[in-house]
Chains A and B, each alone.
Chain A
Amino acid sequence: MKEVETMKEEWKVFFQLFWTFFKMGPVTFGGGYAMIPLIEKEVVEKRKWLKSEEVTDVFALSQTVPGAVAINSATFIGKRIGGVKGAVAAMLGISLPTFFIVLALGILYFFFQDNPKVEAAFLAIRASVVALIAYAAIKTGKTAITDKSTLGIMIVGVPLLFVIHPIFVILLGALTGIVCRFVKRKLGYNMKLEQKNEDYKNHPDYFMGAGI
């Protein structure tokens, strides 16, 4: 009898995890820092699963793992609360709503893409997508460039991408970071590693360069 009770309790937690993040999914465009205040409110204030400092640690940790900050944070919180199954429940919760929205929009697009009006609309939309990416480039550049070496890496990276597969460029970047810091430490330089960025709290549009 007791086992049945604990199993029931367990499933209740999984469902709560799933539902908490399911509700957040559709309202968070970009999926990045825009979600932080929302997650804090739900996880700290409402559910009281974690303390505020713990959530801050989760966000920091989420940024060191590949993938979107929002999805990683949800998975981390799920793991803390309900183990591996909890992690899966939270990740499914945060991913499913957007999956269906994107799929629906995609189906519409592929159905109507040859319509002359849609073609005309997308001619212009493509130009504004380039603007969206340029804007993201400005935002990401601002947080990434902390000194001359990081500026150098960024400048060299762009032409490299025209000739080498991006995955290798990413790995090369990580390797350069290790070598660069090793050499600098040997030479006794002081390094500014990271810009303290509290910007996202004041500007919810910070999602553009999210996830670094």
Chain B
Amino acid sequence: MILWELFRTFFVIGFVSFGGGYAMIPVIEAEASQHGWMTTQQFTDVIAIAGMSPGPIATNSAILVGYSTAGIAGAIISTLGVLLPSIILVLIVATFFTKLQNYSIVQSIFYGLRPIVASLVIYAALSFALSNNLITINVSWHTVSLLFIFGLSLVLLLKFRWHPIYIIILSGLVGVALYS
């Protein structure tokens, strides 16, 4: 049953979704491609839409993967799956602790988790660059133009602090001008 698979998958993802945003991309991608729900390119588009929308990237991607796999019911089930672990753990923590972050064991766990969250985001950038032909041995005009869009976007983010939504809209227009 596809809905149960979606729920189960996103429920597990919900439990490990530290670093809420971009760090969950590799986890969701691994699951989506293992189940044959989506290609990496489609998944890149999902991240584009998730990044354009308000709300956390992980939850937004769950909605989109769920929708493309099993329609509106899929979207609802996947969202519930990814949110449920958070609500369960929040209720447990809220009942028993007021300052969990002061516990030594919690500090130790996060001492290791924080750099791993960074690895996850770096890995996500690398694997998307590979699957979308940004890193390739066959350098063509096409690759150069993609690298230019990549570089320009990064500068706009780092130096000019543009909001992602404007960058996605601008690059969409550039795409229509260049590739259609």
Q: Is the interface of B mostly helix, strand, loop or mixed?
A: helix
A127 and B63 contact, CB distance less than 8 A: no
Would you mind naming 9 contact pairs between A and B with Cβ atoms under 8 Å apart? A67-B20, A97-B54, A102-B50, A106-B46, A106-B75, A121-B180, A125-B48, A128-B170, A133-B25
A177 within 8 A of B: yes
Q: CB distance B21 to A208 under 8 Å?
A: yes
Q: Give the residues from 62 to 76 in chain B that come closer than 8 angstroms, CB to CB, to chain A.
A: 63-64, 67-68, 72, 75
Q: Which segment, of A1-9, A11-19, A24-32, A44-52, faces chain B?
A: A24-32
Enumerate chain B interface residues (CB-CB to A < 8 A). 12-23, 25-27, 30, 41, 44-60, 63-64, 67-68, 72, 75, 79, 82-83, 85-87, 89-91, 93-94, 97-101, 104-126, 128-129, 132, 134, 146-147, 149-151, 153-154, 157-158, 161, 163-165, 167-168, 170-176, 178-180
Q: A87-B94, A126-B44, A137-B125 are in contact. List 14 more A-B contacts (CB 8 A).
A: A30-B54, A61-B99, A68-B86, A75-B86, A75-B90, A80-B94, A101-B54, A116-B180, A130-B150, A132-B157, A144-B117, A177-B112, A191-B111, A203-B161
Interface of A, helix, strand, loop or mixed by DSSP:
helix
In the complex the two chains form, what is the Cα distance from A101 to B53 in whole Å? 7
Cβ contact of A166, chosen from B30, B164, B171, cutoff 8 A: B30
Residues from chain B with a CB closer than 8 A to the CB of A150 are 111, 114-115
Asked whether, in the complex, the Cβ of B134 is within 8 Å of the Cβ of A106, the reply is no
Interface size class, chain A? 35 or more
Bound CA–CA A113/B44 (angstroms): 13
Q: A113-B45, A133-B125 are in contact. Are A72 and B53 (CB under 8 A)?
A: no
CB closest residue in chain B, given A181 = B108
Q: Say whether A120 contacts B122, CB under 8 Å.
A: no
Residues of the B chain whose Cβ atoms lie less than 8 Å from the Cβ of A178: 105, 108-109, 112
